[in-house]
Homo-oligomer: A and B are copies of this chain.
Amino acid sequence: MSNAIDFYFDFSSPYGYFASTRIDHLAARYDRKVNWHPLLLGAVFKTTGGVPLPMVPLKGEYAYRDFERSARFYGIPYQRPPAFPLATQLAARAMLWVRQAHGERKAVEFAQAVYRAYFVDGSNIADTDAIAAIAGKTGLDTAAVIDGANSAPVKEQLKADVDAAMSRGVFGSPFVIVDGEPFWGFDRFDQLEAFLKYGKI
């Protein structure tokens, strides 16, 4: 099998969510595995000077419209969340712990449930209760997930993962790297697919 696809995303990123609904199917069509890497865009923006889209004058209003229109265009369920953007440390650390305890498949199932809870059901995923509820619905021990997410080693690991991502040039969500080729944005998935198909663009 060819190299895995590295898929970076922040749980508060609508375009990351859109990408999360497609990446595994896309990869499977070209016989690739996907490694899912939760990011903290807040930490990344400290380096790049980035600002969450909705906070930029003019761009902010447009961004909300683009989230909704893009969701309709691609046929992806989406409801504008009541709180946006929000802190995603807890969700990201919970996912890392689920991977350690239960492996990649369960971690991806959990990540997809977090994204749906936030962008379809309007849960406040910065909240411990919300993450516990998602863990429960995913068939996990809720207390174990929360304890694991708040443990020092998992906190350290997330920090190290985000640093490693930035050192590879990752600066946004979604961000994909495959065979050394970087793709930023769900709107580059057409180019990503061409790259997977032809090995170059």
Contact = CB atoms under 8 A, between A and B. Distances in A.
Interface of A: 47-51, 56-59, 61-62, 65-66, 69-70, 72-73, 166, 169-172, 182, 184-185, 187-188, 190-191, 194, 201
Contact of A65 (B66, B69, B182): B182
Contacts of A62: 169, 171, 182, 184
The 3 closest A-B pairs by CB, nearest first: A58-B171, A187-B187, A59-B171
Contacts of A61: 169
Nearest to A166: B58
Contacts of A187: 185, 187-188
Given A66-B184, A73-B194, 17 more contacts: A47-B57, A48-B57, A49-B56, A49-B57, A56-B171, A57-B171, A59-B171, A59-B172, A59-B184, A62-B169, A62-B171, A62-B184, A65-B182, A66-B188, A69-B201, A73-B190, A187-B188
A102 to B, nearest CB: 32
Chain A facing B: main interface SS: helix
Nearest to A44: B58
Contact of A170 (B58, B66, B70, B201): B58
A73 B72 CA distance: 25
A181 to B, nearest CB: 8
A47 B58 CA distance: 9
Contacts of A51: 49
